[in-house]
Amino acid sequence: MADQGSAGVLNLQSAAIFLLIFVVIFELFRRPKNLPPGPWRWPLLGNFVALTRSGKHLHEVLAEWAQRYGGVMSVGVPPSQSAVIVVSDLDIAKELLSRQGEHPIDRATLPLTDKITDTRGSFLWSKGETAKEARRFGLGAFRKMGVGKKSLEHRINEEARYLVESIGAEKNRSFDPSLTIQNAVSNIICSISFGSRFDYDDPKFKTLLGNFRVVFQNLGVRSLGNLCPLLYHTPLFAKVRESAKFNRESIATIVQEHQDSFDENDFRDITDMRIADIKEKERTGLAPTITHQHIWRGILDMFAAGTNTTSHTLLWLISFVIKYPEVQDKIQREISEVVGSDRQPSCEDRPSMPYTNAVINEVQRLRPVAPFALPYATTQESQLKGYTIPKGSRVIINLWAMMNDPKVWDRPEEFNPGRFLSEDGKKMIQHEAFVPFSTGRRSCLGEGLAKTELFLFATNLFQRFTFKPPPGASKPELKGILNLTFVPEPFKVRAVKR
């Protein structure tokens, strides 16, 4: 009997080994030829183990691999069963994204994206002609709402006064700055999209922002929901489903109120502009790329992106000046020399404040809130740098790798604002590989707005406060947390009035 049992175990082991060999051979024959190079991928698991066991962030691991395999490589990232193409070289990214007639690619969604909410009408996730029309409309609407003009500057400075007042009320106590800063930044996109701002204590506003945090925290590349989308329907994602539903219904209600009170002679915000744009297409017999019932989706994109990216960059900035107080001293000296203390900073001050701008750039280079561009997928087989990219391949653009490439940047791991300054420190230096807002035709729609917000909010804050760590607290490690965006770890700070 013992011999029979042993034989049974051996048979099972033999069968398992045979099955493993079969799967490996099957995968080898199934894989397309002439793919870009990359690390060995296990069947089904791909490079999942290697990507997660290092303890480093995904963008860091992929950047290290790019140094070994090149600016375009193929890796296995579950749940995709085919190779994912990772581009870490700016020139290759430009070739891929700009020559769409020869190498057509389009936006791809994350596995959870379609489950969380409808993407029709989305500025971020739209494809093809719909994406072109959405970008055309979005850029025009931002210009009409004052991006790049004095009217928007006044609006940001007004909100900055609310922010300074809120922080000043802490009276040197230790506090978490994330909520206050997020409130202020969000109110700018609210005023542009909805026509009004919210009080920081407004319960609906607080719930809306809290729910966006829940969704963003669970929509990252490494989210279990993206590795196994079926989990979205389990109790594990109940809070995410509830948060997404509340946000969707809240934004849709605001849009419906706009539709009910719409006046073609008085555009209050981008929502009114979108309603008018669709009505005009209907009047002239052109088929609109989105319908009235999907307006809310684009407005939700603006609210989410306009809130999270800029607020997290400001939080990174505060984290860095706490760790490097001499940097904060230099910023404040520049503010005192150029602006003084009797008036608020202005966009006209920017050319005279190269050091402040250089610090903002260096923070964005080292800790971009979007280390990856939103994902793409190829629409047909194409050639790239001598390699064959199959149709339907997922494409990841590693922006962090481009901004931390040792072949391009001197000691990129060091925080050094001077890399953006001339030798005399009086002028800004532009770096082609500085791409925190991505590159190509799908680069960040709100880049102009974000740059204006970052400068004005930052200078207003440092003009009025010196940020210090709480007594006995260690300085921030600046490691960060990678979800859908790359955010600093929660921290507390003291804001000492100047």
- 358 alpha-carbon distance from chain centroid: 21
Is 347 part of any known ligand binding site? no
Residues with Cβ within 8 Å of residue 449, at least 6 apart in sequence: 142, 147, 152, 188, 189, 192, 306
How far CA 440 is from CA of 94, 98, 295, 371, 444, in Å, comes to: 6, 6, 25, 16, 9
The token pair that represents 28 in the structure block:
């080898």
DSSP 3-state of 225: helix
Residue 263's SS3 state is coil
Q: Which residue has the tokens 């994350």?
A: 110
Total Cβ atoms within 10 A of residue 128: 12
Q: Round to whole Å and give the CA distance between 206 and 210.
A: 6
Cα–Cα dist 73/189, whole Å: 37
Q: What is the rounded distance in angstroms from the CA atom of residue 252 to the CA atom of residue 354?
A: 42
Element spanning 394, H or E: strand 394-397
Q: What whole-number distance in Å separates Cα of residue 93 and Cα of residue 90? A: 5
496 backbone dihedrals φ, ψ, rounded to 5°: -90, 125
Residues 296, 251 contacting (CB under 8 angstroms): yes
Both tokens assigned to 446: 């709100």
Q: What is the Cα–Cα distance from 269 to 191, expressed in whole angstroms?
A: 7
CA distance 350 to 335: 10
For the CA atoms of 256, 261, 267, 271, the dihedral, rounded to the nearest 10 degrees, stands at 0
DSSP codes joined into one string, 65-120: HHHHH-SEEEE--TT-SSPEEEE--HHHHHHHHH-TTTS-EEE---TTHHHHS--T
**Pairing of the two strands 394-397 and 84-87:** parallel
Assign residue 114 a region (left: φ > 0; alpha: ψ between -120 and 50; beta: otherwise): alpha
The amino acid occupying position 33 is K
Q: Which two tokens stand for residue 127?
A: 């494809």
Looking at 194-269, list the stretches that DSSP marks H as alpha helix, in order from N- to C-terminal side: 203-217, 224-227, 238-260
Binding residues for heme: 444
Binding-site residues sit at 444
